[in-house]
Chain A
Amino acid sequence: MIRMTVNGRQYELEVQPHELLVDVLRQRLGLTGTKVGCREGECGACTVIMNGKPVLSCLILAVQAAGSDILTIEGLAASTDTTDLHPLQRAFIEEGAIQCGYCTPGMILAAKALLDKNPDPTEDQVRRSLAGNLCRCTGYEAPVKAVLAAAKNLRGWTAAAKETAGADNHAGREKA
């Protein structure tokens, strides 16, 4: 029996020693936004944020994730309403950084972990943070642009949140 928090919700699950985190997220919790590409830590499609850090959920046993706090792509937007998308999700749409979409959840989470740590990254830092997320459609120019645009946007959000302390917005929510 393991306990973990996924997208702010607590779960208690009985898992087998060999079960991978990615399979538990997808098959047991139905969170299929986390994708499976290579199953060997190569493609980054299974990236989730675990205790604040981007990790590859195909290279983590579910038992190893016991006690951890996990964010998947489903937990990123404020609600399922499309007008409530996270600035990174919005930027990926606006910059045309999505084609088939398979790499997108992993890429967005890798980018979120970067922006949480470094709200004003250089283009080089963005490229390094996405180095583990392979895309076979759009290439990388549009995703890099999207992350830089979202960073700018989020810095705006944070500044606005400071001015109107207590206001309900993304930047405020994320700190909570």
Chain B
Amino acid sequence: MTLGFRLTKYVRPRRLEEAIRLLAEEPKTTRVIAGGTDLLVAKPPEVKCLVDIADLDLAQIDIRDDESLGTTDEIHGPLSHSRILRLGATVTIADLEESQALHSDPCWTILSEAAASLGTPGVRNRATIGGNLCNASPAADLAVAALALGAAVEVAGPRGRRTVAVEDFFLGPRQTALAPGEIVTAILVPAWKNSLGTDSGNERYGASFFKLCRHQCSVDVATVNVAVALSLSAGRISRARIALGGVAETPVLSQSAASALNGNKPASDIVAAAASLAVTDTRPIDDIRASANYRRAMTAVLVRRALTEALRRCQL
């Protein structure tokens, strides 16, 4: 009944090293399975062996203080992330939707909003955050939210562990920076509150996630989705990340929109300018969901709405 699928082997290792060894052995025909909600729809015929990572204890959500991602911001240089939200790779979308930990930073909540917008309950109960990223859909909801937050992907492989920024993780549609044998073990999300290390009580933070799709139904990938995260310092926008999904080969950051915002006081003309500029960072295609022109037009609309909402949240 499962046409196209020629599975001959299924393994559920208890140790990460074992999973990595199995993956590295036959990388072309071996695939990681977690929730399976993408893989068991695609049923790629070349896959012969599945390595189920359900028993690797990667489903924890925790917050770590005094840790650094070692990341930098183009405008601000090194960021002093003192708090990191660590989302294990097999945390389900439903767990993310309901996680209280996400409420301890004003910007992290967009992960929960993106999770709630993904698919249907039956999908969300199985699908994982690691899977949503590794599937590398250009419109992956969690990828777009993670990109706006400046998150990184924690990877383990035959050569040890490494961390890859989300903006460097996607190479193209369905293509990631994972080397043969590598497994995503967690998503690391830096705190926005105090991220510049200069919080004098005048800092404000806000983020939002907006998605355009025909109706909420599991196959219905976003036509366009947008996530933004902002910091305000003494009434001016001090840091902005605008992530766009469904409008290029991968989720993309709009540097043009960020530059239009940085250093300015929030006002509707600045927001409108940033929304128009965001369109210049898209490379959309025509497909069954929408035309490239429609995607460009909707990018401007969603960025404007997302920025307006994030700024409103900054004032709360």
Tell me the A residues contacting B by CB distance below 8 Å: 16-20, 23, 39-42, 44, 47, 53-56, 58-61, 63-64, 66, 110, 113, 128-129, 131-132, 134
| 10 nearest CB pairs, A to B | A132-B120, A17-B10, A18-B7, A56-B122, A17-B7, A53-B125, A40-B41, A59-B40, A63-B10, A132-B122
Residues of A within 8 A of B288 (CB): none
Which of A41, A61, A132, A134 touches B10 (beta carbons < 8 Å)? A61
Residue of B nearest to A53 (CB): B125
Which of B33, B126, B219 touches A42 (beta carbons < 8 Å)? B219
Q: Which residues of B8-63 have CB atoms within 8 Å of chain A's CB atoms?
A: 8-10, 12, 33, 35-37, 40-41, 50, 52, 54
Task: Tell whether, in the assembled complex, residue B36 and residue A132 are in contact, meaning their CB atoms are under 8 Å apart.
Answer: no
Contacts A47-B122, A131-B121; is A41 near B41 (CB within 8 Å)?
A: yes
Nearest CB of chain B from residue A114's CB, rounded to whole Å = 8
Complexed CA–CA distance, A20 and B50 (Å): 14
Complexed CA–CA distance, A19 and B123 (Å): 19
Complexed CA–CA distance, A110 and B40 (Å): 21
Nearest CB of chain B from residue A122's CB, rounded to whole Å = 15
Residues of B within 8 A of A42 (CB): 217-219
Residue of A nearest to B35 (CB): A59
Residue of A nearest to B36 (CB): A59
Residues of A within 8 A of B6 (CB): 18
Nearest CB of chain A from residue B148's CB, rounded to whole Å = 24
25 contacting pairs across A/B (C-beta < 8 A): A16-B7, A17-B7, A17-B9, A19-B2, A20-B2, A23-B1, A40-B41, A41-B37, A41-B40, A41-B218, A42-B218, A44-B122, A54-B125, A55-B125, A56-B126, A59-B122, A60-B36, A61-B33, A63-B10, A63-B52, A66-B12, A110-B121, A113-B121, A131-B120, A132-B123
Residue of A nearest to B41 (CB): A40
Residue of B nearest to A110 (CB): B121
Complexed CA–CA distance, A59 and B124 (Å): 12
Complexed CA–CA distance, A58 and B218 (Å): 13
Residue of A nearest to B5 (CB): A18
Residue of A nearest to B8 (CB): A17
Contacts A40-B41, A59-B41, A61-B10; is A132 near B218 (CB within 8 Å)?
A: yes
Residues of B within 8 A of A56 (CB): 37, 122-123, 126
Complexed CA–CA distance, A160 and B295 (Å): 56
**How many residues of chain B get a CB closer than 8 Å to chain A's CBs?**
30
B99 is an interface residue with CB less than 8 A from chain A: no
Nearest CB of chain A from residue B313's CB, rounded to whole Å = 22
Residue of B nearest to A56 (CB): B122
Residues of B within 8 A of A129 (CB): 121
Residues of A within 8 A of B120 (CB): 44, 131-132
Residues of A within 8 A of B12 (CB): 63, 66
Nearest CB of chain A from residue B159's CB, rounded to whole Å = 29
B119 is an interface residue with CB less than 8 A from chain A: yes
B216 is an interface residue with CB less than 8 A from chain A: yes
Which of B7, B9, B121 touches A132 (beta carbons < 8 Å)? B121
Q: Which residues of B77-124 have CB atoms within 8 Å of chain A's CB atoms?
A: 94, 119-123
Complexed CA–CA distance, A136 and B209 (Å): 32
Task: Tell whether, in the assembled complex, residue A64 and residue B219 are in contact, meaning their CB atoms are under 8 Å apart.
Answer: no
Task: Tell whether, in the assembled complex, residue B10 and residue A55 are in contact, meaning their CB atoms are under 8 Å apart.
Answer: no
Residues of A within 8 A of B2 (CB): 18-20
Contacts A17-B8, A18-B2, A18-B5; is A41 near B123 (CB within 8 Å)?
A: yes
Task: Tell whether, in the assembled complex, residue A60 and residue B1 are in contact, meaning their CB atoms are under 8 Å apart.
Answer: no
Besides A59-B37, A59-B122, A132-B123, 8 other A-B contacts (C-beta < 8 A): A18-B2, A23-B1, A39-B1, A44-B120, A54-B125, A58-B40, A131-B216, A132-B120
Nearest CB of chain A from residue B79's CB, rounded to whole Å = 36
Nearest CB of chain A from residue B150's CB, rounded to whole Å = 30
Complexed CA–CA distance, A47 and B125 (Å): 12
Residues of B within 8 A of A23 (CB): 1
Which of B7, B50, B121 touches A54 (beta carbons < 8 Å)? B121
Residues of B within 8 A of A17 (CB): 7-10, 50
Nearest CB of chain A from residue B43's CB, rounded to whole Å = 9
Task: Tell whether, in the assembled complex, residue A40 and residue B219 are in contact, meaning their CB atoms are under 8 Å apart.
Answer: yes
Residues of B within 8 A of A55 (CB): 122, 125-126
Complexed CA–CA distance, A20 and B40 (Å): 9
Complexed CA–CA distance, A40 and B217 (Å): 12
Which of B8, B52, B125, B216 touches A64 (beta carbons < 8 Å)? B52
